[in-house]
Amino acid sequence: METLLLWLFYISSLYAFIPGLITRLFGYRVFRRGLSDSRFALTFDDGPDPVYTPQLLDLLKRYDAKATFFVVGSNAERHLDLIKRMHEEGHLIGIHNYIHKTNWLMRPATVKKHIQKTSGIIQAVTGVKSIYYRPPWGIVNLFDFAKRGDTQIVLWSAMFSDWRVRIGADKLTKRMMRKLRGGEVFLLHDCGSTLGANRGAPGEMLVALERVLTEADRKGLKSVRIDDLIQITENAKLGKKGKPVPVDGEKVARSGPTDASRFKKILISLWLLWEKVFHQLFHVQSIHKEDSFFHFRIRPYHGDSVEMNGGAKLNNGDRIMELHFDNKKLYEIGSRSKSPVQLAIKMVRGVEKELPKLANYIANHPDLHDVKALYGVSMINRGPEQFGFTVTDLPKGWFASSSRLYLKFLLRVIHPDGGARLKQSAERLVPKLILMPIEHLVSHYMQDDSKRKMNDKPEAVPEEEPVLNASMSCP
C-alpha cells in the first residue's frame, strides 16, 4: 500500500500538480502575457461553432481586429469552411486538442496524437503547420514541457467566465473593460457545447465584445494575433538592453528588468513546501535536523539485481536507505556558485563531508545494521566513482523518463547557467543510478569507534545482506 501511495504521489505531483502550479503562478515555459502599451490579444477556445463563429468573424472584420482561435480538432473537422475563413481573414489558428479533454487524464502519447491530428486538419486547409497550443482548461502536464521544441504553449492573463450564460453581457462587459490594456491575453469562447459551458453563452460574449472593441478603438488599443504579441514582447525585452525595437508602429512598454532571483526564490519556496509534505507522508528522516545535506528513508529495494563496487550485488527485496538531497542546500549552493566548476566542487565537498556522518549514523542505530548499499538517482553523476559509487543506467521506462524531466527542471533552477547548461550539454544530462555497498562505506568512511559497534552486530543471514538506497534526485 505504501508503494502504491508513493507512486500516486509521484505521478500526481510530477506529472500534473507541480507543472500546473508553476505555469499558472509564474508562466514558466508558457506565454500568458505580453509587454506592450497599445496591443492586446483576443483568443477564442472550443470552436469553431456553426452559429457563433461566423458572427464573431463578422464582428472582428468590422473593427479590423485580429484574433487567435484555439480550435478543437473534432469541431474543425466538421467545419472546414470556418477554418478556411479564419485563415483567409488573417487570424491565427491554434490547437486545443482533438477533443476537449484534460491532459491530466491522458497519457503523453495520447496528448501527442491529439495535437498531431488537429495540426494535420488545420494544415490540410490552410497549408500552414500550427505550432501554437492551449491545453483544455489550461492544464499542462510534465510532458507538455518536453514538447516545447515543437509547440508554443499559450495560456492567458485575463479570464471572464464567459462560458456561463447567467453572467450576462452587462457584467461581462464590466469585467472585460477592467482588463482592457496593452499586453493582456483575453480568454474567450466562441462555442458553448463543451462540458460545463452553456450553449447560449457565446451570444452574450459577442454583445460584450462589441462594446469592448468600441472602447479599444477610442483608447487607441488594437487586438493582434498571439504570434504578433509574442514578437512585440521579445522586441520589448531586447529594448530593455538598449533602444526599443518597434513592430508595426508598436510603442513598447518600458518596465524595469525582470527580477529573476525573486522568481527563483518564490519557486524554491513552493518546492520546499512540497518537500515538507513529501517528508511527512513518507517518513523521510534527517541525520541532523539543523544541517543535513541528505535526508533518508528506509525501504526495500525493488528492481533487477545490480552489481556494485567490489562485486557485491543489490537484489530485489534487500533493505535500503533511500537518500534525498536537501533542496534548500542545493539551491543555496547553486545560487552562490559563479560557475559550473565551482558548483561541482561544492557538491563534491558536501558529499565528502556527509559520507562519514552517514556511516556513523548507521553504526549507532542497530536497526540499520542490515542495510546493504547507498543508492541514488542523479543527473549530477560525473565524479561519484571517486567516493566508491557505482554509476549505471536506469532501466528504460516511465521512471527513467519522468526522472529525466524532473531533474532537468531542478537543474535549470539550481545551476548557475540555468537553461543554457541544458542546451549546451543535453546529451550528457541523463539521470543515472548511483550505488555504494555499505561495506565500502564502513571501511572507508566510518570512525574507529563506530567500526567496533558495527563489528558487534549479530551475524546476518547471507540472503539478508544489508542495503542502503539513496535517491539523490528527489525531495
Q: Point out the residues that are catalytic.
A: 45, 189
Select from 70, 32, 40 the least CA-distant residue to 53. 70
Q: What angle do CA 290, 292, 294 make, to 5 degrees?
A: 155
The amino acid sitting at 140 is V
